[in-house]
Chains A and B, each alone.
Chain A
Amino acid sequence: MKLSHDQIRGLIPEYIRKSLPDDERFCFEEHLDRCDECSRTLCLLREIAEAEVPDPGELFWKTLPQKIRVIAKEQPAPGFFRQHFSLRLLPFAPLLLLVMLIAASAPLWKQRQLQYDPLFRDPLEYSLLEYGDISEKRIRLPRASLSVEEAELLEPPGSTYHREFVSLSSDELGRLYKTLSEKDPKGG
């Protein structure tokens, strides 16, 4: 067997790994004896191949396979749905399409219905609205903070002592109340 220099040069990694067949290995070693360049290259590549890789430890080697299995199980593969559902769902495809069409046309149908609804034809027509749910309720106002004019609006003039009462301060009103309750409890 005869191998060229270039062929021998390309076989150096295989020679280092001892994966050459016997006849090639014999030819290779014969060439090495007389080729300084290939010998040097072999030395260099041996040094490179023997370069140490730090061992991450037995724990890493033992746990990695289990870790990969557990994580892979947790996240379904991208082909999962394609594999499990695609062919099984095929008979239901027309039905699915119909449902999708109905679902897609529902908003359009609703909008069309609203166009003919008198209530929504003109939103400014408030006479169409119902007020059945609104009830009247008197709201008590804090009288002390009201001006005379405002108080007059609430209590029309003519009622007895109205103006006098309104003009009194809270202290005067307090004293008046006390006097009335002591002296003339029946009042006017």
Chain B
Amino acid sequence: MDEDNRLIERYIAGDDRAIEELVVRYQKQIYAFVYRMTKDMEEAKDLTQKTFLNAVKGIRDFRRASSFKTWLYQIALNSSLNHIRRNQPEEVEIDESIAGNQRGALSVLIEKERKEDIRNSMDGLPERQRLAVILRAYEGLSCDETAGVMGCSEGAVKAHYHNGVKKLKEILRNKGHETVA
């Protein structure tokens, strides 16, 4: 965290290279987070760039009430949610007969599909629960950091997270993934 603040100070003092170092430090985490929110690589790339540009624009107003990482995740979250709300995905129906044939033919695909299923089951969670699970399980943020990003208390994060995991298990159980759920 001290390193982040040092880089911010350097940038404000006029050293442009400092911002490059900040981007290098967090670009992979932010990209992964945005991708998990949007599930689209091109959108994730655009939103990652947008997140860093917004961060640079507002870096002088960063009050250090939270860590830079938490603040950056907040910006990424807002950008992602805005994007998701603007582009609500259309429902796509999968032809079950074709999917069934593939399942029977290739065992590799079965495992791939199972993982895809687990990933897709996240879509069934309410927004706050989904976010708490993504930030805690995927991104590995602590309860404190997750609370900072979500703008709520640690208690609320714990509740969202536990309810999210519980519901996820339920969804997977309904899909027939008993081993995981």
Contacts and interface: CB of A to CB of B under 8 A. Distances in A.
A54 to B, nearest CB: 5
A77 interface: yes
A44 B20 contact: no
A56 B41 contact: yes
Contacts of A65: 19-21, 23-24, 27
A68 B23 contact: yes
Interface residues of B, number: 47
A136 interface: no
Contacts of B59: 77
Contacts of A43: 179-180
Contacts of A72: 16, 19, 53, 56-57
Interface in B88-142: 115, 118-119, 122, 133, 136-138, 140, 142
Contacts of A77: 56-57, 59-60
B60 A51 contact: no
- Interface of B (DSSP majority class): helix
Contacts of A67: 49
A68 B118 contact: no
A25 to B, nearest CB: 16
B127 to A, nearest CB: 17
A135 interface: no
B19 A69 contact: yes
Nearest to B172: A44
A53 B31 contact: yes
Given A64-B27, A68-B23, A68-B49, A79 B180 contact: no
Interface in A17-61: 17, 19, 40-41, 43-45, 47-49, 51, 53-54, 56, 60-61
Interface of B: 16-17, 19-21, 23-24, 27-28, 31-32, 35-36, 41, 44-45, 48-49, 52-53, 56-61, 115, 118-119, 122, 133, 136-138, 140, 142-143, 158, 161-162, 165, 168-169, 172, 179-181
